[in-house]
């Protein structure tokens, strides 16, 4: 029953993000995180392409050449950098990453940590979210200050651990809205 396993994975991920968000003081965002994953548009596709050790979006993309669930998801969840892509106002009007509000960059950090924990399981290390960032950053369309803040938090997690990083996010980054 792939749908049940998918539901367990979504619930586990959502719970981890909620716990991380609560630790930094983002209570509302923690509760609302990824609610669109329960919509039929995302849930049914996720259940069909469920793999257990990675996002179902990868399998749907391989099968169809695109992923309807991801296109739906990124347009409804402000913690994804893709939500913040828009046309620039320069000469060429190319697509650019817009500056994200700090609270959504922090939620994106929590989301990446929780995704790594969900898919890596007992093999998870605090360096995993940073390593994923490094592997993926070449294709990101992201505002430089957003990228700088996300990378700072991921490096701190890698180098100083979760407890110290979450305390820093709560007491310095969110309190002072630094870096953006």
At which residue do the structure tokens 């997690």 appear? Answer: 157
3-state secondary structure of 110: helix
Give pLDDT tens digits for 57-113: 999 999 999 999 999 999 999 999 999 999 988 777 899 999 999 999 999 999 999
pLDDT at 82: 96
Q: What number of other Cβ atoms are within 10 A of residue 127's Cβ?
A: 15
pLDDT at 89: 85
Give pLDDT tens digits for 154-176: 999 999 999 999 999 999 999 98
pLDDT at 21: 98
Which structural domain, as residue segments, surrounds residue 99? Answer: 2-176
CB 147 within 8 A of CB 137: yes
pTM above threshold 0.85: yes
Query: What is the C-alpha to C-alpha distance for residues 148 and 180, in angstroms, rounded to an integer?
Result: 9
CB 75 within 8 A of CB 83: yes
- The count of domains in the chain is 1
Query: What is the C-alpha to C-alpha distance for residues 160 and 7, in angstroms, rounded to an integer?
Result: 33
pLDDT at 179: 56
Supply the mean pLDDT for the chain.
Answer: 94
Give pLDDT tens digits for 122-154: 999 999 999 999 999 999 999 999 999 999 999
């Amino acid at each position: 029953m792939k749908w049940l396993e998918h539901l367990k994975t979504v619930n586990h991920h959502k719970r981890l993000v909620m716990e991380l968000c609560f630790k930094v003081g983002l209570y509302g965002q923690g509760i609302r995180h990824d609610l669109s994953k329960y919509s039929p548009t995302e849930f049914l596709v996720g259940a069909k392409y469920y793999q257990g050790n990675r996002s179902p979006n990868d399998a749907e993309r391989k099968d169809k050449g695109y992923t309807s669930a991801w296109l739906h998801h990124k347009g409804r969840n402000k913690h994804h950098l893709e939500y913040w892509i828009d046309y620039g106002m320069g000469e060429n009007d190319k697509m650019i990453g817009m500056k994200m509000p700090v609270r959504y960059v922090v939620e994106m950090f929590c989301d990446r940590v929780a995704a790594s924990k969900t898919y890596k399981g007992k093999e998870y290390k605090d360096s995993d979210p940073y390593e994923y960032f490094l592997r993926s950053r070449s294709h990101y369309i992201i505002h430089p200050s957003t990228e700088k803040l996300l990378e700072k938090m991921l490096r701190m997690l890698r180098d100083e651990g979760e407890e110290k990083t979450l305390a820093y996010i709560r007491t310095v980054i969110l309190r002072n809205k630094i870096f953006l």
